[in-house]
């Protein structure tokens, strides 16, 4: 089996799977259960400064989005940072780290935006012998209204300033957790790097309202007839997270900045995608809350088997896809494919025909006996039919070889480096 051990900014763990800062990492009991199950590390649920106690709601804390089969696609939570006493958390962190020295123990922190508050809590966390700290600049609800969380993460200057304080007052590796609730994720990442961050983690939850109760006319979850925006996470946010991870990994200003990928990791494939886009570790929350800590066995086995099948190491997988992430203008516009329907696999449901006929390019014909075929002269290879077909590999996209004639355009398939050199580009024509 492939070696899954990692060394992320000096933090070692037996595999790249960490539990993200959230309810599953709120106390010693949960974390020990996770380590016994096989998780490589945890980010302890966010600690705050001593002072007025954190008070969570004593009612529903989660809203949900489900698929047609009741599969959980996303959670919207309105829970705050830990409401347990700081001293209790620190004592448990110290004990767990001593009992499990081979596992990653990172402590999430969120305190008021002044240097003394950060200096004070960092000193106490160092005493636990934790491996590192994660600065929670991402939480979009509750704490942000108090000038913390995403209220800091949305201002690059604040990120840089606080990161400098942390690096000044602590020997521990510093991971800056970024909010997705921002126009350009590269700006806060650049600020974290300027401040001396050892790594960034992303994404934190997305500001959201997942549903409205149409009897009481309140957002869910509902607390005594009222609801509030919360943080959205789970499989549904994975595409957003992958894009933001890739943006940081390929940005020259942040190239080489280690990334801990978060957002919808539910299977080993999800993890492999984050790693291929440059992440050095992945953090999981919703999947563990849905299926329990035992899913780590499948996550480890699947990733290990994949690496063995590919003849790759974990290091060789990391960042493998980054060079292939580009901007639209650099895509080869003379690359031509056509849809192909495998008649042996087709179940004649007609989804491809309905989707193409009503909403796309009328490129699929239906015979009286419900045989569906692609009309090459109309097919623009949009891939919609592939995505709506319920039978895997029934519809595939076939590349036309160089020199072939595209029936739709009548043009011969040629090879252009990118849009810049393509004859359809007005700038290219002007240059000629």
Which residues are the active-site residues? Answer: 139
Check the CA dihedral 386-319-266-197 and report its sign: negative
Quick one: tokens of 130? 């934790």
Measured CA angle at 45 (ends 39, 46), to 5 deg: 145
Quick one: tokens of 206? 């997305």
> Which residues lie closer than 8 Å to 128 by C-beta, 6 or more apart?
90, 93, 94, 97, 105, 107
Residue 206 CA to residue 10 CA, distance in Å, equals: 29
> DSSP states of 167-216 as a string?
HHH--S-EEEEPPS-SS-THHHHHHHHHTT-SEEEE--PEEE---EETTT
Residue in 140, 144, 190 with CA at minimum distance from that of residue 163: 190
Residue 396 CA to residue 342 CA, distance in Å, equals: 8
Residue 197 phi/psi, 5° resolution?
Answer: -60, 140
């Amino acid at each position: 089996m492939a070696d899954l051990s990692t060394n992320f900014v000096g933090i070692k763990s037996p595999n790249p799977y960490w539990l993200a800062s959230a309810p599953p990492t709120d106390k010693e009991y949960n974390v020990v259960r996770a380590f016994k199950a096989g998780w490589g590390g945890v980010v302890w649920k966010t600690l705050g400064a001593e002072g007025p106690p954190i008070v969570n709601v004593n009612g529903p804390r989660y809203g949900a989005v489900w698929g047609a089969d009741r599969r959980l696609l996303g959670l919207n939570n309105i829970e705050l940072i830990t409401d347990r006493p700081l001293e209790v958390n620190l004592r448990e962190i110290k004990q767990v780290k001593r009992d499990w020295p081979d596992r990653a123990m990172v402590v999430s922190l969120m305190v008021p935006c002044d240097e003394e508050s950060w200096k004070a809590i960092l000193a106490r966390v160092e005493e636990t012998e934790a491996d590192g700290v994660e600065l929670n600049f991402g939480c979009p609800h509750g704490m942000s209204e108090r000038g913390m969380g995403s209220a800091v993460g949305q201002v690059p200057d604040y990120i840089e300033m606080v990161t400098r304080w942390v690096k000044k007052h602590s020997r521990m590796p510093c991971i800056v957790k970024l909010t997705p609730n921002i126009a350009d994720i590269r700006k806060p990442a650049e600020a974290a790097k300027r401040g001396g961050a050892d790594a960034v983690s992303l994404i934190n939850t997305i500001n959201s309202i997942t549903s409205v109760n149409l009897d009481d006319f309140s957002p869910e979850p509902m607390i005594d007839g009222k609801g509030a925006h919360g943080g959205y996470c789970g499989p549904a946010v994975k595409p957003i997270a992958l894009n933001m991870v890739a943006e940081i990994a390929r940005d020259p200003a942040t190239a080489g900045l280690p990334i801990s990928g978060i957002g919808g990791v539910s299977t080993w494939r999800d993890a492999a995608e984050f790693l291929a886009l440059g992440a050095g570790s992945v953090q999981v929350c919703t999947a563990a809350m849905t299926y329990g800590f035992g899913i780590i066995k499948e996550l480890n086995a699947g990733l290990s088997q994949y690496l063995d099948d590919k003849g790759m190491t974990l290091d060789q997988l990391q960042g493998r896809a980054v060079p292939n992430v580009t901007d639209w203008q650099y895509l080869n516009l003379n690359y031509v494919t056509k849809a192909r329907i495998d008649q042996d696999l087709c179940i004649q449901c007609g989804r491809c025909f309905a989707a193409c006929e009503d909403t796309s390019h009328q490129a699929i014909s239906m015979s009286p006996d419900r045989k569906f075929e692609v009309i090459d002269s109309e097919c623009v290879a949009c891939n919609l039919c592939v995505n709506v077909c319920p039978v895997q590999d029934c519809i595939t996209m076939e590349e036309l070889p160089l020199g072939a004639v595209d029936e739709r355009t009548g043009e011969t398939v040629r090879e252009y480096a990118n849009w810049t050199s393509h004859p359809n580009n007005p700038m290219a024509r002007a240059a000629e």
